[in-house]
């Protein structure tokens, strides 16, 4: 299928296009994004592309789960109108040399821990937007900083589409759904929900009246320190608006963001709390 020709045909019929970019290894969280897209748009396009530009040299690009046949079955069951599954040579042909960056929030949180990561994210997402030309694009809030940098890119560069952030999909024990969860051992899988439990402790303490930034951070650190095998990358509390840092008092709508290693798997999660 010629993607451009297909989307043009839909546009000539005044049909709205929803887009869900993914790296495959689809789970119920991805399906929830597709369901949100189907409610908002007339047609839904999903992309599957494990983007090499957003992986560092010592990260898990080689071991990232790839299961295209199973993914296609899930997309068929979900009623997706089109799948775009390019290879690296399609996206980055010989001589490719252009990239995007966000100087304001590219070097905090995951940007600090994974240098160049969000340059790769912005570059591939901007190209996907140009290829698909959607009216709406759907992203899960689990990748909170990613959602922020993409939202800023769309605003700053006047992309003619709307970014829609969707709630984090979770397993019954609270673990945020992620393709990387497939790489957890059974023992690690039983420990992984402690990340979310620690985030809930922050939100509950804040709701009970604790507004001191350092104390809220210490609540999470104390919880996770009791769980073996975790190696904390960061735990931060930032304003939901533009991810600005707090000084001493968490006095407006906030989000707690965490990254931690469990065995060979790096997990991220976040939780919004405070006044809306």
Is residue 261 predicted with pLDDT exceeding 80?
yes
pTM of the model: 0.95
Kindly state the helix (H) or strand (E) to which residue 236 belongs, with its residue range. Answer: strand 230-239
Q: Total structural domains in the chain?
A: 2
The predicted structure's pLDDT at residue 58: 84
Judge contact between 166 and 138, C-beta under 8 A: yes
Kindly state the helix (H) or strand (E) to which residue 45 belongs, with its residue range. Answer: strand 43-48
The predicted structure's pLDDT at residue 276: 60
Q: Are residues 145 and 204 in the same domain?
A: no
Token reading at 236: 């931060």
Cβ-count burial of 67 within 10 angstroms (0-12 exposed, 13-18 middle, 19+ buried)? middle
Between the two ends of the chain, the Cα-to-Cα distance in Å is 44
Asked if residue 276 belongs to a domain, the reply is no
Q: How confident is the model at residue 103 (pLDDT cuts 50, 70, 90)?
A: confident
User: What is the span of the domain harbouring residue 258?
Assistant: 179-270
How would you classify residue 230: left for phi > 0, otherwise alpha for psi between -120 and 50, otherwise beta? beta
Token reading at 127: 């190209």
Q: What is the pLDDT of residues 5-23, one digit of tens each?
A: 999 999 999 999 999 999 9
Q: Are residues 250 and 201 in the same domain?
A: yes
- Provide the annotated active-site residues: 30
Q: Are residues 13 and 66 in the same domain?
A: yes
Indicate the DSSP class of residue 194.
H
If you average pLDDT over residues 130-154, what whole number do you get? Answer: 97
Asked if residue 171 belongs to a domain, the reply is no
Q: Looking at residue 194, which CATH number applies to its domain?
A: 3.30.1300.10
Answer with the one of 110, 137, 166 that is the final residue of a domain. Answer: 166
Token reading at 125: 């997402």
- What gap in Å lies between CA 157 and CA 144, rounded to an integer? 20
- What gap in Å lies between CA 114 and CA 108, rounded to an integer? 9
Q: What is the pLDDT of residues 145-188, one digit of tens each?
A: 999 999 999 999 999 999 999 999 999 999 999 999 999 999 99
CA atoms lying within 13 Å on the CB side of residue 72 = 6
Cβ-count burial of 128 within 10 angstroms (0-12 exposed, 13-18 middle, 19+ buried)? buried
Q: Are residues 144 and 206 in the same domain?
A: no
Q: Looking at residue 128, which CATH number applies to its domain?
A: 3.40.50.620
Q: Are residues 66 and 187 in the same domain?
A: no
* Percent of the chain whose predicted confidence (pLDDT) is above 70: 99
The predicted structure's pLDDT at residue 1: 64
**Burial per residue of 31-57, b for 16 or more beta-carbon CB atoms within 10 angstroms, e otherwise:** bbbbbbbbeebebbbbbbbbbebbbee
């Amino acid at each position: 299928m010629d993607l451009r020709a297909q989307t043009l045909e839909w546009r000539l019929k005044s049909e709205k296009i929803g887009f869900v970019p993914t790296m495959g290894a689809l789970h119920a969280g991805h399906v929830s994004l597709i369901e949100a897209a189907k409610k908002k748009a007339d047609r839904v396009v999903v992309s599957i592309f494990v983007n090499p530009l957003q992986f560092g040299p010592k990260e898990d690009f080689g071991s990232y789960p790839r299961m295209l046949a199973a993914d296609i079955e899930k997309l068929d069951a979900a009623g997706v109108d089109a799948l775009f599954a390019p290879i690296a040579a399609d996206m980055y042909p010989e001589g490719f040399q252009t990239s995007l960056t966000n100087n304001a929030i590219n070097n905090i949180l995951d940007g600090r821990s994974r240098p160049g990561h969000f340059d790769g994210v912005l570059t591939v997402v901007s190209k996907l937007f140009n290829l698909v030309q959607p009216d709406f694009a759907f992203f899960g809030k689990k990748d909170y900083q990613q959602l922020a940098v993409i939202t800023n890119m769309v605003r700053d560069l006047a992309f003619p589409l709307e970014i829609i952030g969707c709630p984090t999909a979770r397993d019954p024990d609270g673990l945020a759904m992620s393709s990387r969860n497939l790489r957890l051992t059974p023992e690690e899988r039983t420990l992984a929900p402690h990340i979310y439990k620690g985030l809930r402790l922050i939100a509950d303490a804040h709701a009970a009246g604790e507004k001191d930034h350092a104390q809220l951070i210490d609540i999470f650190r104390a919880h996770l320190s009791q769980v073996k095998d975790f190696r904390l990358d960061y735990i931060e509390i930032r304003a939901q608006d533009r991810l600005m840092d707090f000084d001493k008092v968490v006095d407006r709508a906030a989000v707690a963001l965490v990254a931690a290693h469990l065995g060979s798997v790096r997990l991220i999660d976040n939780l919004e709390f405070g006044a809306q």
